[in-house]
Amino acid sequence: MKRSCRINTFTLIELVISMGILMAVTGIVAMASKSFYDGYERSAKVTNRLKEYMAIDNMMDVHVRNLIPFQWKDENGNSRFVFSGEEHKLHFTTLRRAYGPRAGALIFIRLFVEENKLIAEYSTYPRLPWKEDEEETMPYKREVIAENVEQITFTYAEKADEEEDEDGSGITWEENWPEDEHAAPPLAIRMKVEWTDGSSEYWLRRVAGVAKDSTFGKRNTTDGTTPRFTNSLEGGATGGGGAL
């Protein structure tokens, strides 16, 4: 007696339908995966940018807000402010909290962009802006504040003369801060950060110890154009901080 063996096989139509279903499921999974990774990348970018905003906020609040008019003698014996305000670079002296008996209360800082990175250099020793091009001798620490930065631009606030006070604020903004034209650091500093993706943000802080008419002393003029600076706490000088 012969036994008949029946082999179950897929027909061509069944095979085509199965492949179609498999391709549809694969497409759905791929689209879901792409959406997930796109969302993750967007979230990561937002998180990184938020961290950079917080780092810049901290820099402006802790250091720029506590900027002081600190002087140091140059090689000719002339007292000069350890401050250099350029359009795309800032060099200044700020106060900090001293955490030990040997720790100084001053810190010297440079802010600039290098290779699309916002760099801050810190030193507890005087780093003098008029010696920047000479061989570096003072130790310093370097920190990357933000990446993918196209450039930073600084503007500096000064008390306006009557003919310059167009909006009635009493303040005029300058793109540079030449030392021979000012007898004190600016009243406030505004920084614009431009990222490589085309976005930009502004930060504005008033520096330490200033009121509208004073910076550790009175901002007076002797001839209407030349400011006279007195290093005494007079004229209603106030604590630093905040936007103008």
Which residues partner with 210 through β-bridges?
A: 215
Residue 229 has pLDDT above 50, yes or no: no
Residue 243 has pLDDT above 70, yes or no: no
- The per-residue pLDDT for 151 is 96
18-22, 65-69, 133-137, 150-154, range with the lowest pLDDT? 133-137
% of the chain at pLDDT higher than 90: 35
57, 118, 131 from 115: Cα distances, Å: 21, 9, 23
CA distance 52 to 69: 28
pLDDT digits (tens, 9 = 90+) for 115-152: 999 999 999 888 888 887 666 677 889 999 999 999 99
Is this model's pTM higher than 0.85 or not?
Answer: no
10-14, 103-107, 143-147, 210-214, range with the lowest pLDDT? 210-214
Sole residue written with tokens 């009243």: 187
